[in-house]
């Protein structure tokens, strides 16, 4: 009984510390039965290249965010239910070693650990927590996942029309296929339900045509099932706030990733495994 109480108090303090590190912009994390399993820093592949992120593994969710003020504070909090995560182990790449792929319905991305041992610990603990969570909660594992975005530097030309990117000819990403495309080739919009249920998202001309060809069939199936489908929009379609949100999503984060990679990589704290049992002490 004393061990249970001590663990509960320590766990609550840890979770509140994580909450506080995200400041007022972060969402509350503490809830009954939630346990902080481990934490550490990983390199996350973004559209502008690898960037350091802080990750927190709980027994039911994975939380990550950007690092500011020498790692003391975090921002841009992301919370992913473990039932919505699928992992894929990967071989070392040209720019990232000890990497693996994290798939989610809204976004899929590559991450890399500082060592092979840390990579294996992350994957093992994430898979174990996910399996235990699915068994205890009764939730069904996700089956639809977002594509991974091709990094900006992977192409100097639009991957649809082959026009060269310049200071005025900006890069964009199709949310359906993940290709790097120009503005002219990504004027169309669609609601892709597994990414966001209401927002009209940027899609390239080819994906828009493909979606349009199947829209009538999808709507008919949806009508019979009584649920919604991906909605197709034209150049003229406008949804208040959608373009602003999209521009913000495509902006490079305001910390300098090269500074972190050059000066901070060697001093990063390794992955901290907080509770080997993965569960609270048994009664």
- Is 107 within a domain? yes
- Is 190 within a domain? yes
> What average pLDDT does this structure show over 209-237?
64
**Same domain, yes or no: 103 and 212:** no
CATH code, 168: 3.30.40.10
**Same domain, yes or no: 121 and 228:** no
Domain count, the chain: 2
Question: How many angstroms separate the CA atoms of 80 and 12, rounded?
Answer: 20
> What average pLDDT does this structure show over 196-207?
90
Identify the domain containing residue 224 by its residue range. 152-250
CATH code, 46: 2.30.29.30
- Is 220 within a domain? yes
For the chain, what is the mean pLDDT?
80
- Is 122 within a domain? yes
Q: How confident is the model at residue 113 (pLDDT cuts 50, 70, 90)?
A: very high
- Is 283 within a domain? no
- Is 180 within a domain? yes
- Is 27 within a domain? yes
**Which of the 8 DSSP states describes residue 177?**
T
Token pair, residue 237, equals 């379609």
Nearest in space to 165 (alpha carbons), one of 154, 175, 178, 176? 154
User: For the residues of 83-126, what is the DSSP string, one character each?
Assistant: GG-EEEE----SS-SSEEEEE-SS-BEEEE-SSHHHHHHHHHHH
Residue 107 Cα distances to 60, 84, 196, 245, 253, angstroms: 18, 11, 10, 15, 17
**Same domain, yes or no: 36 and 54:** yes
**Same domain, yes or no: 57 and 85:** yes
Question: How many angstroms separate the CA atoms of 13 and 61, rounded?
Answer: 18
Asked whether the beta carbons of 160 and 181 are under 8 A apart, the reply is: yes
**Same domain, yes or no: 168 and 100:** no
Q: On the CB side of 183, how many CA atoms lie within 13 Å of its CA? A: 10
Question: How many angstroms separate the CA atoms of 163 and 165, rounded?
Answer: 7
List pLDDT tens digits, range 259-274.
323 333 334 456 676 6
**Same domain, yes or no: 135 and 269:** yes
> What average pLDDT does this structure show over 226-231?
59
**Same domain, yes or no: 244 and 260:** no
Quickly count: other Cβ atoms within 10 Å of residue 265's Cβ. 12
**Same domain, yes or no: 157 and 227:** yes
**Same domain, yes or no: 132 and 197:** no
CA 195 to chain CA mean position, Å: 11
Residue keyed to tokens 């649809």 = 160
Residue 87 Cα distances to 84, 108, 116, 118, 208, angstroms: 10, 10, 16, 15, 29
List pLDDT tens digits, range 35-49.
999 999 999 988 777
**Same domain, yes or no: 165 and 245:** yes
**Same domain, yes or no: 187 and 95:** no
Give the model's pLDDT for residue 49: 78
- Is 281 within a domain? no
Token pair, residue 191, equals 């609601």
Give the model's pLDDT for residue 211: 81
**Same domain, yes or no: 173 and 268:** no
């Amino acid at each position: 009984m004393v061990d249970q109480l001590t663990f509960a108090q320590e766990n609550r303090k840890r979770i509140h510390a994580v909450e506080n590190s995200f400041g007022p912009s972060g969402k509350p994390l503490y809830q009954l039965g939630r346990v902080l399993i481990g934490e550490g820093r990983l390199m996350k592949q973004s559209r502008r290249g690898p960037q350091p992120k802080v990750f927190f593994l709980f027994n039911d969710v994975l939380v990550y965010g950007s690092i500011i003020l020498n790692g003391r504070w975090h921002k841009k909090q992301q919370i992913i239910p473990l039932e919505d995560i699928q992992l894929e182990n990967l071989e070392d790449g040209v720019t990232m070693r000890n990497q693996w792929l994290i798939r989610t319905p809204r976004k899929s991305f590559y991450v890399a650990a500082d060592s092979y041992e840390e990579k294996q610990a992350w994957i093992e603990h994430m898979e174990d927590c996910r399996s235990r969570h699915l068994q205890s909660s009764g939730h069904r594992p996700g089956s639809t996942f977002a594509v991974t975005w091709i990094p900006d530097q992977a192409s100097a030309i639009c991957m649809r029309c082959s026009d060269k990117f310049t200071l005025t000819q900006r890069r964009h990403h199709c949310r359906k296929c993940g290709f790097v495309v120009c503005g002219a080739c990504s004027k169309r919009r669609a609601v892709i339900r597994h990414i966001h249920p209401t927002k009209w998202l940027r899609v390239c001309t080819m994906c828009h045509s493909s979606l349009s060809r199947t829209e009538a069939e999808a709507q008919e199936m949806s009508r019979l099932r009584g649920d919604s489908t991906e909605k197709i929009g034209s150049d003229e379609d406008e949804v208040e706030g959608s373009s602003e949100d999209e521009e913000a999503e495509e902006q490079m984060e305001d910390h300098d990733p090269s500074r972190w990679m050059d000066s901070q990589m060697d001093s990063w704290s390794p992955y901290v495994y907080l509770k080997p049992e993965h569960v609270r002490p048994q009664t």
